[in-house]
Amino acid sequence: MFTQRFNELLRETNTTKAKVAANTGIPLETICNWFNRGSQPTADKLVKIADFFEVSVDYLLGRTSDIGIVEINCELTAEQEELLKLLSNMTPNQRNTLIGFAKGLLAQ
């Protein structure tokens, strides 16, 4: 049922598996394996896909026909907005440096 629902959502949203992979961080090969080998996604990947399509995990799994649109709270604080603006003006190398620095701070 999962692959059927996934295909329906791809068609309805005019989206490709590659776009889903790029936006969720799930490798395209993994997504293709769900279709070609009949494997099933892990819970964390189901959540990412449900969030991407804004549907419930139960809908993806065929446990309900109610699409169960999920609203994701996207309100940012002024501080978060400032950080995102700064981040968007950085080069890829600067972003990687900043991420490494932030991880170091959190490890303390």
Chain segment 16-70, per-residue pLDDT in tens: 889 989 988 989 998 898 888 878 888 899 889 988 888 888 888 887 666 665 5
Confirm whether pTM is higher than 0.85: no
Q: Is 12 a domain residue?
A: yes
Q: Is 66 a domain residue?
A: no
50 with 90, same domain: the answer is no
Widest distance between CA atoms in the chain? 47
41 with 86, same domain: the answer is no
**Tokens 């995990």 belong to which residue?**
57
35 with 9, same domain: the answer is yes
H/E segment holding residue 77: none
> What residue numbers bound the domain in which 90 lies?
78-107
Q: Is 40 a domain residue?
A: yes
Q: Is 73 a domain residue?
A: no
Say how many domains are in the chain. Answer: 2
